[in-house]
């Protein structure tokens, strides 16, 4: 791959992201023929096709995916270099790109606020997404670190525990089971369940816990938002298996009730996770140390 340039790699990444040479040219502020030329030169250097055209878009070939992954690592290295140079010039400070799964947004802002009070010259770039989006941010080297409940498989990562992460069954306060003690989880098969989308960390844990007792839930709704699930439970549309950290406020004010189910809460762990190949700059190192030593102080304390 001798002679490959950053311009060629950026052209490929833009075309794959935008779906056409014209849209990529607009993104890169060049002409479509210029994009086509860069792609031609890149394919000549690789000696393999890098994408196939499908309908109105394109799909990377296996070779294209490899080149895109290399381009992402290069862009990440350039960003790291820029941040390091800024730190050297300024003597302190810097910027940390952090990702958190949506369930972690109920405690992570408190941790970040406390950190920035101690390190006012460090800027935090925060991205909140579902599990798939957070894993994609790690894979593409766009995040220095992420907070999640289950580190991804098939990727070389470093992880450090932050603190415990309980999951419970919630119901409206007037639910017929709200005052009952020691409910068998397997007996809840006749309930209408409001569940997170397939692939979410909460859904994966729920399925594992339910499988252990042979519960096949009657799914009334599949919802990709903890907030919407909470509102639906309060409205009486069903019950849900959720992170206890997402319902701290609703429990305190009496809008939701945790059912007393045997074997629950199901305990997981919050982790700080970073790609093993991602260079840890001083500012990111400060935040990593803070989260992994003091992060549990900001977790909701539930009865």
| Among candidate residues 161, 300, 174, 167, the one with its CA nearest the CA of residue 226 | 167
Distances (CA, A) of 244 to 15, 17, 28, 258, 288: 42, 37, 45, 9, 24
Asked if CATH classification 3.40.190.10 holds for the domain at 166-267, the reply, yes or no, is: yes
Name the CATH topology of 6-69: Arc Repressor Mutant, subunit A (1.10.10)
Residue 85: half-sphere exposure toward Cβ, Cα within 13 Å? 6
- Which value, to the nearest 10 degrees, does the dihedral of the CA atoms of residues 283, 289, 290, 296 take? 150
H-state helical runs in 91-221: 108-118, 131-139, 201-213
Are 139 and 201 a contacting pair, CB within 8 Å?
no
Q: Which fold has domain 93-163+269-298?
A: D-Maltodextrin-Binding Protein; domain 2 (3.40.190)
Distance of CA 242 to the CA centre of its chain: 17
Tokens read off for 187: 């007996």
> Which residues of the chain are in CATH 3.40.190.10 domains?
93-163+269-298, 166-267
Q: Where in the chain is the domain with CATH 1.10.10.10?
A: 6-69
Q: Is the pTM of this model over 0.85?
A: no
Q: What is the pLDDT along the chain (303 residues), one digit of tens a residue?
A: 678 888 999 998 998 888 888 888 999 999 989 998 998 888 888 888 888 877 777 888 999 899 998 898 888 888 888 877 776 565 467 889 999 998 999 999 999 999 999 999 899 999 999 999 999 999 999 999 999 998 998 889 999 999 999 999 999 999 999 989 999 999 999 999 999 999 888 999 999 999 999 999 999 999 989 999 999 999 999 999 999 999 999 999 999 999 999 999 999 999 999 999 988 888 899 999 999 999 999 998 766
């Amino acid at each position: 791959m001798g002679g490959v340039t950053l311009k060629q790699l950026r052209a490929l990444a833009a075309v794959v992201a935008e779906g056409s040479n014209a849209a990529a040219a607009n993104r890169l502020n060049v002409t479509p023929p210029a994009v086509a030329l860069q792609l031609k030169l890149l394919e000549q250097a690789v000696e393999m096709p890098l994408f196939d055209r499908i309908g109105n878009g394109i799909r990377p070939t296996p070779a294209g995916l490899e080149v895109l992954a290399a381009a992402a690592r290069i862009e990440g290295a350039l960003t790291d270099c820029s941040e390091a140079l800024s730190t050297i010039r300024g003597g302190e400070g810097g910027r940390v790109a952090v990702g958190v799964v949506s369930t972690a947004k109920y405690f992570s802002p408190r941790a970040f606020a406390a950190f920035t009070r101690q390190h006012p010259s460090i800027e935090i770039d925060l991205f909140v997404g579902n599990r798939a989006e957070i894993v994609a941010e790690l894979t593409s080297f766009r995040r220095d670190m992420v907070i999640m409940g289950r580190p991804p498989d098939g990727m070389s990562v470093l992880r450090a525990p932050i603190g415990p992460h309980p999951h419970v069954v919630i119901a409206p306060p007037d639910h017929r089971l709200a005052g009952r003690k020691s409910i068998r989880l397997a007996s809840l098969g006749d309930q209408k369940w409001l569940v997170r989308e397939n692939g979410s960390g909460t859904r994966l844990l729920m399925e594992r816990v339910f499988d252990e007792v042979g519960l096949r839930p009657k799914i009334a709704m599949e919802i990709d938002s903890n907030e919407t699930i909470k509102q639906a439970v309060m409205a009486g549309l069903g019950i849900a298996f959720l992170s206890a950290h997402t319902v701290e406020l609703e429990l305190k004010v009496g809008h939701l009730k945790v059912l007393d189910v045997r074997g629950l809460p199901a305990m997981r762990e919050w982790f700080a996770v970073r790609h093993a190949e991602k260079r840890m700059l001083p500012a990111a190192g400060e935040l990593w140390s803070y989260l992994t030593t003091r992060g549990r102080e900001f977790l909701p304390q539930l009865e």
